[in-house]
Amino acid sequence: MSDTPLLAVEDLEVRYGAATALRGASLSVRRGQLVAVIGNNGAGKTSLMRGLTGLVRPSAGRVLFKGEVVTRLPAHAMVARGLAMVPEGRLIFPDQTVEDNLILGAYAQGGLKTRRSKETLERSLAVFPRLRERLRQPAGSMSGGEQQMLAIARGLMAEPDLLVIDELSLGLAPRVVEQLIGVLRDLNRQGLTILLVEQLASYALAIADHAYVVAQGHVVRDGPSGLLARDPEVMETFLGKKKAA
Ligand SMILES: Nc1ncnc2c1ncn2[C@@H]1O[C@H](COP(=O)(O)OP(=O)(O)O)[C@@H](O)[C@H]1O
Ligand SMILES: [Mg+2]
């Protein structure tokens, strides 16, 4: 069924105790798309990401991946089904080598035992040649940009059908963010479906096909990125940008 979205999120709700971080959020991602979720700090983007990837149990709503209901499956089961995630803050293991961090990303494939996973490692290192030079170094010795490269490469090691990335730009200089945005655009052009969660809307809108705007725990708007980028209400009311153009 070609009209079945790769990912469909329906009326998702995420709570932390008595606090509701996300209410009634719906979105869909089709194969081959690069979809962005944008919104200010505290809007509920990470809660949406955690709820749909199985890192937290949603209190209401459904998640469908490849047409199957996967709501409340744990994150490792989602990875095995083809949904890999690059979490906010990267969460690499700083004391382990770059190579060992990458091998952990291939956990669902049985580590680096198979020829196929060795080929996947080669492909991931071809995307980020810098990591090849640093394979034996502790991951924590690298710059923030290199650590984000590692976090993305670790996600690629799972051979995902969908790669979800939360706050690509966090703590990185604009030049580094631009470089990483270019890599995501290339990966998408090569066929990888990407869901990019990003506070810096202009970067995400520059490469996304479609975007969702999250504000105060709600998906308040969605549309083609080009339209949203030119929409003054989106930029001023929801993203607090005073006249970005
Ligand atoms: N673990 C948590 N416990 C309690 N409240 C949380 C937790 N994580 C996030 N929140 C709250 O949920 C709301 C949404 O946060 P979050 O999803 O992290 O937003 P964003 O990723 O858009 O910055 C915020 O009010 C935040 O303070
Ligand atoms: Mg966040």
Q: State mean pLDDT over 157-176.
A: 96
The percentage of residues in the chain with a pLDDT greater than 70, rounded to a whole number, is 97
**Ion ligand 2 — residues with CB under 5 Å?**
45-46, 88
d(C-alpha 222, C-alpha 214), whole Å: 9
Q: Which of 61, 65, 49 is nearest to 4 (CA)?
A: 65
Residue 180: partners with Cβ closer than 8 Å, 6 or more residues away = 145, 148, 149, 152, 168, 169, 172
Q: What is the mean pLDDT of the chain?
A: 93
Which protein residue has the closest C-alpha to ligand 1 atom 27?
42
Higher pLDDT, 165 or 105: 165
Ligand 1: atom nearest CA of 50 is 17
Encoded amino acid at 40, one letter:
N
Q: How confident is the model over 122-147, as pLDDT tens digits?
A: 999 999 999 999 999 999 999 999 99
Query: Domain limits of the chain?
Result: 1-79+196-245
Query: How many Å lie between the centroid of ligand 2 and the Cα of residue 118?
Result: 32
The superfamily CATH assigns to domain 1-79+196-245 is P-loop containing nucleotide triphosphate hydrolases (3.40.50.300)
Residue 161: pLDDT above 70?
Answer: yes
Q: State mean pLDDT over 31-39.
A: 97
CA 207 to chain CA centroid, Å, is: 14
Burial 143-165 (b: 16+ CB within 10 A, else e): eebbbbbbbbbbbbbbbbbbbbb
| Residue 244 confidence class, pLDDT cut points 50, 70, 90 | very low
Tokens of 106: 């291939």
41 lines ligand 1 (CB under 6 A): yes
Q: Is there a contact between 208 and 36 (Cβ–Cβ < 8 Å)? A: yes
Ligand at shortest distance from the CA of 21? 1
16 lines ligand 1 (CB under 6 A): yes
Q: State mean pLDDT over 99-104.
A: 93
3-class DSSP assignment, residue 1: coil
Q: Could you tell me what percentage of the chain is helix, strand and coil, using 3-state DSSP and rounding each to the nearest 5?
A: 40, 25, 35
Residue 245: pLDDT above 50?
Answer: no
Q: How confident is the model over 43-95, as pLDDT tens digits?
A: 999 999 999 999 999 999 999 999 999 998 999 999 999 999 999 989 999 99
pLDDT at 1: 54
pLDDT at 202: 93
Residue 109: pLDDT above 80?
Answer: no
Residue 39: pLDDT above 60?
Answer: yes
